[in-house]
Every structure is written in structure tokens, then in C-alpha cells.
């Protein structure tokens, strides 16, 4: 019997979509291994119904631990306790910053093997094999575990959400002790929104800007182009420029941002790091403009233009306007 423990991130009364995908994936894999998938949530007064609802995605049991939310180390403590007591063979995480931190801490605590950025997992001969793309996704490595516990940290959007056809799962309280290190960190504020609240998820055409725009004012070029397309178009941004304060957080694509799949994704001055790619690779048409011919984005764009944004974008805006007017 090989049971799988799946971490479920929750915030503001809802479970994270990537975590739901991980629960679905865990249930599927556990069935192939002849075991069960259980989920674990940690927080202050986690609603019973929220925990039980993970049963719909295939969790046979849900553990709820009481502790400070939004930090990794309390979860390392709780999951290590659950795994030691419950004899789980694998711990599974959907894509997400906390999952990376918890999974890594757990690997150190348990002496377990860990694979991160995993895009696929399969059961083979009674054990799990994780696939992880490496070297800018130019190769895929396969990883097995020699340890009693294997830790699998998925890439953002790697695990598909199954149909929510199951029944509610029984919920059990997990008691555990916070480690010394977990008591040294305190959440002051969580989930602060910075910048205007913009909607990019419904747009058919996204003009996305990165560091190549040079400065906050550079986003005017992207906004002008989006304006020329008109209709259902919007401007999006990379994490680097959002962190730099050039554009609102609500417009951010990728890891810790939004996942989008518009008809047209035009990336202006975006290098195309994996963390960005995971949030937009499902777009129907990807056009990239970048002055660096070696930018990874050219490896997954349908049309790539090597050149200077400041020259190309204004002319493209005029040309799109002219075309629309004709």
C-alpha cells in the first residue's frame, strides 16, 4: 500500500486551483499504486466544509492542522508529523511558491528525495516516477526515489483538475508541535494587492510587457498598442516589472500571477523565463519582440521579431490602427 499526502493551499475560504489539481492527480496515482490520497490543510479555524470538499476531487481523508497561515515551516512540521505517523510514501504539491518551500524543508527533515518543477508523474512497478523538464525545457529528466518518502513538487498548472464527482471526505484534526524555527517567523500582512485592479483573464488579445520596456513609462507603448487593437484587449506584465512597481500586480502573468490563454499574446521585451512561460504557454498565438536573439521566448513563440521595441511598437500601433480603419 502506498498512500500519498497532498498539500492543499487555501486562502480566503477557497482552495487554490493548483492544489485541487494536485489532489486530483494524487487520487489518480494512489489508485494506480493501490493506495489512497489524503489531503492536508493548515490554518486558523479552517472551515470543516472546505476541508471535506477535497473529497470531491478524490481525497479519501483530509487532515486539518491548526497553525499560522501563509508560511512554509509550520507546514513542514505538520506534514512531517502526518507522514511519520501515517506512513505515507509520497508527498505531492501543486505549483506554487509555498509548495516549493514546504517540499524542500520536508525533504531535509525526512531525508527524502525531492523533484521540483515536475510536469508529469506516472506509476511504474509500484512506485512513482517524476518527469522534470530541465535546461530551459530542452530536456526532460526522469526521477525515482531511493528514500522511504518521495516528494513531488509540480510545476504551475501541471496537474489537471479532475471532475469534482466524489463525495465529501472525512476530516481529521492533526495535532503537531511547531518547531523552533517555525516560531521565528510571523506573518505581518498577507495578500496585499499593489496597483490598480485590472482584469486580464478575459482578454482575447494581451500585450505583455517585461523589463525590455526599460522603465515604467515604457508601458505606454504597450497600452497604445492594446488601444489600437481595441475591443477585448488588455496589457499584462511580468513579475520582474511588477516587483519593480512599473505595473499592477493584478496584471501579472506566471508563477504567483495569472494563467492566461488569449487568442493573441504579444510579448514585448520579455525574455521568457520558465516562471513566465507557465502562465501563458497555452495562448493560441504567441508573438515575441525582443532585442536579444538568444531570449528563451523565441523558442516557444510562433512569430519572433528580433529588434528594438521603441522603434517597432509605435509603428506597429499605427499600422494596426490603419488596418482596423480600412
90-123 CB burial, b ≥16 within 10 A, e <16: bbbbbbbebbbbbbbbbbebbebbbbbbbbbbeb
Question: Of the two residues 1 and 135, which places its CB atom closer to other proteins in the complex?
Answer: 135
What are the backbone angles phi and psi of residue 98, rounded to the nearest 5°? -65, -40
Binding of other proteins by 243 (CB under 8 A): yes
Residue from 85, 87, 190, 216 touching other proteins (CB under 8 A): that is 190
Residue 180: all three cell numbers together: 523552533
Provide the mask over 208-227, with x wherever binding to other proteins is found by CB under 8 A and - wherever it is not: --------------------
Which stretch, 25-33, 44-52, 163-171, 297-305, contacts other proteins (CB under 8 A)?
Answer: 297-305
Q: Of the listed pieces 31-39, 83-91, 159-167, 310-318, which binds other proteins according to CB under 8 A?
A: 310-318
d(CA 13, CA 57): 17
Q: Exactly one of 13, 146, 175, 197 binds other proteins (CB under 8 A); which one?
A: 146
Q: CB within 8 A of 152, min separation 6: which ones? A: 90, 91, 92, 93, 103, 114, 115, 118, 121, 128, 130
Q: Judging by beta carbons within 10 Å of its beta carbon (0-12, 13-18, 19+), is residue 138 exposed, middle or buried? A: exposed
Instruction: Please report whether residue 127 would count as binding other proteins according to CB under 8 A.
Output: no
Based on the shown chain and the rule CB under 8 A, indicate whether residue 129 belongs to the binding site for other proteins: yes
Q: Is residue 140 involved in binding other proteins (CB under 8 A)?
A: yes
Among 1, 44, 139, 167, binds other proteins (CB under 8 A): 139
Torsion, Cα 237 240 246 252, to 10 degrees, reads 30
Of 21, 26, 105, 154, the one binding other proteins by CB under 8 A: 105
Kindly tell me which of 35 and 296 has the beta carbon lying closer to other proteins.
Answer: 296
Q: Which of 32, 66, 101, 172 binds other proteins (CB under 8 A)?
A: 101
Cβ neighbours around 176 below 10 Å, total: 20
Amino acid at each position: 500500500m502506498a498512500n500519498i499526502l497532498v498539500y492543499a493551499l487555501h486562502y480566503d475560504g477557497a482552495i487554490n486551483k493548483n492544489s485541487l489539481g494536485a489532489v486530483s492527480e494524487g487520487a489518480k496515482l494512489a489508485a494506480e499504486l493501490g493506495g489512497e490520497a489524503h489531503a492536508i490543510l493548515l490554518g486558523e479555524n479552517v472551515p470543516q466544509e472546505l476541508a471535506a470538499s477535497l473529497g470531491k476531487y478524490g481525497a479519501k481523508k483530509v487532515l486539518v492542522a491548526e497553525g499560522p497561515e501563509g508560511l512554509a515551516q509550520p507546514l513542514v512540521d505538520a506534514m512531517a508529523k502526518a507522514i511519520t505517523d501515517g506512513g505515507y510514501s509520497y508527498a505531492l504539491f501543486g505549483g506554487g511558491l509555498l509548495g516549493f518551500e514546504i517540499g524542500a524543508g520536508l525533504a531535509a527533515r525526512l531525508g527524502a528525495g525531492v523533484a521540483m518543477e515536475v510536469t508529469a508523474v506516472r506509476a511504474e512497478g509500484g512506485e512513482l516516477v517524476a518527469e522534470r523538464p530541465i535546461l530551459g525545457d530542452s530536456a526532460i529528466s526522469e526521477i525515482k526515489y531511493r528514500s522511504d518518502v518521495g516528494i513531488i513538487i509540480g510545476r504551475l498548472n501541471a496537474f489537471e483538475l479532475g471532475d469534482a464527482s466524489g463525495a465529501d471526505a472525512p476530516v481529521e484534526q492533526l495535532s503537531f508541535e511547531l518547531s523552533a524555527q517555525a516560531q521565528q517567523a510571523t506573518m505581518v500582512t498577507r495578500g496585499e494587492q499593489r496597483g490598480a485592479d485590472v482584469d486580464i483573464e478575459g482578454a482575447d488579445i494581451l500585450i505583455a510587457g517585461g523589463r525590455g520596456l526599460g522603465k515604467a513609462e515604457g508601458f505606454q507603448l504597450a497600452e497604445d498598442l492594446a488601444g489600437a487593437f481595441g475591443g477585448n484587449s488588455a496589457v499584462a506584465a511580468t513579475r520582474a516589472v511588477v516587483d519593480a512597481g512599473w505595473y499592477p500586480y493584478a496584471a501579472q502573468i506566471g508563477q504567483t500571477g495569472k494563467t492566461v490563454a488569449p487568442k493573441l499574446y504579444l510579448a514585448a521585451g520579455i525574455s521568457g523565463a520558465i516562471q513566465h512561460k507557465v502562465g501563458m504557454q497555452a495562448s493560441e498565438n504567441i508573438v515575441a519582440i525582443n532585442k536579444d536573439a538568444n531570449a528563451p521566448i523565441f523558442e516557444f513563440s510562433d512569430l519572433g521579431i528580433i529588434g528594438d521595441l521603441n522603434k517597432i511598437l509605435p509603428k506597429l500601433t499605427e499600422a494596426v490602427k490603419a488596418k482596423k480603419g480600412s
